[in-house]
Copies of this chain bind each other. A is one copy, B any other.
Amino acid sequence: MSDIKKVVLAYSGGLDTSVIVRWLQETYQCEVVTFTADIGQGEEVEPARAKAAGLGVKEIYVDDLREEFVRDFVFPMFRANTVYEGEYLLGTSIARPLIAKRLIEIANETGADAISHGATGKGNDQVRFELGAYALKPGIKVIAPWREWDLNSREKLMAYCEEHNIPVDFSNKKKKSPYSMDANLLHISYEGGNLEDPWWEAEEDMWRWSVSPEAAPDQPTYIELTYEKGDIVAIDGQAMSPATVLAHLNKVGGENGIGRLDLVENRYVGMKSRGCYETPGGTIMLKAHRAIESLTLDREVAHLKDSLMPKYAEMVYNGYWWSPERKMMQTMIDESQEVVNGKVRVKLYKGNVIVAGRQSDDSLFDEKIATFEDDAGAYDQKDAEGFIKLNALRLRIAANKNRKLG
């Protein structure tokens, strides 16, 4: 263990990662560099600086990564209409590759030979952090304390704090929750506690980012989203940066009871787990992006995207953001988005996201052809007969051979 000289730790400022700072210092006799990021989790990150300093850390990084997070990770993922297992919008998954990237950048800057994180050995996050780190710096060493130490209960952690003079006012309101939570600008998640029984319904006061549909206003809210190349660039006509877009959608979405999800999902490490998620802005974005694509994408492009989406979602969920296959698929997805421009009008009401209109200069919707009225010869209905007959030919040949379809 003695060959590690400096380690960069993803540091939240909370109790667990504070214990990790001290544990790394003691166990590895190495220097610890802390890295704390604002990715929109909704808590101040600056206090982490003093806490780290108090633990003897000399190199302290506190970064605001919100714009990079949304621009380079969230938006590209939503271009693919990405949903894992039919429902999950990948709020936790998509933040991990950014953290991994920044850990490695800081390792390079500070000459560290290892990184460390506070994810447990049962979850997906360890995989996402570490695959990213290895992909970006193949010689990096990784220390995952939860897989190594024996401080696997709150009691042992507290005892360790006392023993090592770690101030326990690290605890905060959030930590009093009975749930394990994770938040960033895209979502907040809840796991553990009573949720471990999938028949148990989550209680109302668990949720933090949204009101319940019941408590939402009785009047709907309409918003208009402007798309350029598949990304939202303005809301109600006002240009906004990516992070501002998402923050705004979270606000109006949360106020209208939008984006709650209660799910049993399959983890990459092989088990099923129950999670609850609030993704107000993301829920609006998915619906609206499909709406603008419905006007602007060619049918076969749209279907090809749909058929590949589950694979793309798997890549993101499993931690392969930093992989050549994700890069290759992103190239294709991004190519498809050149024409995804226009406006979507959305009605938000008590948990519902309802598309109220879509328009685009790049629309392929051709009223002259689709109309039930006289189309002035734009479409020759007689063509349909040949179309059907040739498409039926193989079926007829088979039927003539008495092939059964029943």
Q: When the two chains form the complex, which single residue of B137, B380, B391 contacts A399, counting CB atoms closer than 8 Å?
A: B137
Write out, one digit per residue, whether chain A residues 327-345 have a CB within 8 A of any chain B CB (1) or not (0). Answer: 1110110011001000001
> Which chain B positions have C-beta within 8 A of A302?
85, 266
A155→B266 CA distance, assembly (Å): 46
Write out, one digit per residue, whether chain A residues 248-274 have a CB within 8 A of any chain B CB (1) or not (0). Answer: 000000000000101111100111111
Task: Given A295-B264, A306-B85, answer yes or no on A396-B273 (Cβ-Cβ < 8 Å).
Answer: no
Pair B198/A365 contact, Cβ less than 8 Å: yes
> Which chain B positions have C-beta within 8 A of A152?
374
Interface-facing stretch out of A8-16, A44-52, A318-326: A318-326
Determine which residue in A127, A299, A387 has the highest number of CB atoms from chain B within 10 A of its CB, and name it.
A387
A405 (CB) vs chain B CBs: closest residue: B322
Interface-facing stretch out of A30-38, A60-68, A347-355: A347-355
Pair B401/A362 contact, Cβ less than 8 Å: yes
Chain B's nearest CB lies how many Å from the CB of A179? 9
Q: Say whether A144 faces chain B, with CB atoms less than 8 Å apart.
A: yes
Q: Say whether A307 faces chain B, with CB atoms less than 8 Å apart.
A: yes
Pair B270/A388 contact, Cβ less than 8 Å: no
> Which chain B positions have C-beta within 8 A of A370?
122, 196, 271-274
Pair A403/B352 contact, Cβ less than 8 Å: no
Q: Say whether A56 faces chain B, with CB atoms less than 8 Å apart.
A: no
Q: Say whether A357 faces chain B, with CB atoms less than 8 Å apart.
A: yes
Q: Say whether A173 faces chain B, with CB atoms less than 8 Å apart.
A: no
Pair B399/A138 contact, Cβ less than 8 Å: yes
Pair A349/B349 contact, Cβ less than 8 Å: no
Pair B192/A399 contact, Cβ less than 8 Å: no
A396 (CB) vs chain B CBs: closest residue: B138
Pair A306/B300 contact, Cβ less than 8 Å: no
Pair B384/A147 contact, Cβ less than 8 Å: yes
Q: State the main secondary structure of chain A at its contact with B.
A: mixed
Chain B's nearest CB lies how many Å from the CB of A269? 5
Taking CB atoms and an 8 Å cut-off, the chain A residues in 127-141 that contact chain B are 127, 130-131, 134-139
Pair A374/B153 contact, Cβ less than 8 Å: yes
Q: When the two chains form the complex, which single residue of B130, B311, B385 contacts A388, counting CB atoms closer than 8 Å?
A: B130
A286→B329 CA distance, assembly (Å): 23
Write out, one digit per residue, whether chain A residues 266-310 have a CB within 8 A of any chain B CB (1) or not (0). Answer: 100111111000000000000000110011001111111011001
Pair A367/B197 contact, Cβ less than 8 Å: yes
Q: Say whether A398 faces chain B, with CB atoms less than 8 Å apart.
A: yes
Q: Say whether A236 faces chain B, with CB atoms less than 8 Å apart.
A: no
> Which chain B positions have C-beta within 8 A of A272?
294-295, 299, 364-366, 370
Write out, one digit per residue, whether chain A residues 214-230 have a CB within 8 A of any chain B CB (1) or not (0). Answer: 10001010000000000
Q: Say whether A120 faces chain B, with CB atoms less than 8 Å apart.
A: yes
Pair A266/B394 contact, Cβ less than 8 Å: yes
> Which chain B positions have C-beta within 8 A of A85?
290, 294, 302-303, 306
Question: Could you name 30 residue pairs across A and B whose Cβ atoms are closer than 8 Å?
Answer: A85-B294, A122-B369, A122-B384, A126-B384, A126-B388, A127-B387, A130-B388, A130-B392, A131-B395, A138-B395, A180-B372, A196-B367, A196-B371, A213-B350, A214-B220, A264-B294, A265-B294, A270-B391, A272-B299, A298-B323, A298-B398, A300-B394, A301-B328, A307-B310, A328-B336, A329-B332, A331-B332, A364-B401, A379-B393, A385-B386
A-side residues, CB < 8 A to B, are 81, 85-87, 120-122, 126-127, 130-131, 134-139, 142, 144, 146-147, 152-153, 180, 191-193, 196-201, 213-214, 218, 220, 260, 262-266, 269-274, 290-291, 294-295, 298-304, 306-307, 310-311, 314, 320, 322-325, 327-329, 331-332, 335-336, 339, 345, 347, 349-352, 354-359, 362-367, 369-372, 374, 379-401, 403, 405
